Amino acid sequence: MRPEDHLSIGLFGGSFNPAHLGHMHVAQAGLRDLALDRIWWLVSPQNPLKPKQPSYESRVKTVIDLPLKPRMEISPAEIEIGSHYTIDLIKGLQSRYPLTQFVFLMGADNFLQLPKWKNWQDIMQSVPVAVIARPQSPIRARLGKAAQLYQNYRIPEENSHALQYYRAPCWTYLTLPLNNLSSSVIRAQKS
């Protein structure tokens, strides 16, 4: 038996250009509010929807520099699987770890953009999804295309601690205290 067997693992992917405490806020919600066993930070080698990113290694370092909590780790799964697409990552992980319950974590800003992702409906059909409120789009995300199409599969926030036990498609929206940090603001301040 592998250590991942029979665990619930939150998949928290992103460019992390750079990673910041707003990202930590999302990851902590996975452990605390979703009652997940672990969070895997998945630094994207290159987000297909974004311009060329700084090196993978430099962005991984920004995650390493965060005060990662116990039960959080950086996973090289996206590089090992060899795809830049979330659906390929999820399918690859489910194949490698058939006894693990994965939950996909994303900020509300990404949930609003989800219909632009490759095979986005397959993502919703493959794993429970936890959407964490972000200051830029807390209401718009709940009214977006993905939210509308999957409105009948939304799990009430008060049941979010059990999301890992629901069968996809299912999702929840966590309205935590908002964290205003964003990677684009941090990059602009450094320029």
Residue 17 lies inside a defined structural domain of this protein: yes
3-state helix, strand, coil in the chain (%, to 5): 45, 15, 40
With bands split at pLDDT 50, 70 and 90, how would you rate the model's confidence at 183?
A: very low
Q: Is the pLDDT of residue 101 over 70?
A: yes
At 153, which CATH number? 3.40.50.620
Its domain, for residue 78, covers 8-190
Whose CA is closest to 172, among 130, 132, 137, 113?
Answer: 130
Residue 2 lies inside a defined structural domain of this protein: no
pLDDT tens digit sequence for 164-179? 999 999 999 998 765 4
pLDDT at 187: 36
> What is the number of domains present in the chain?
1
CA dihedral (88, 64, 38, 170) in degrees, to 10, reads -50
Residue 3 lies inside a defined structural domain of this protein: no
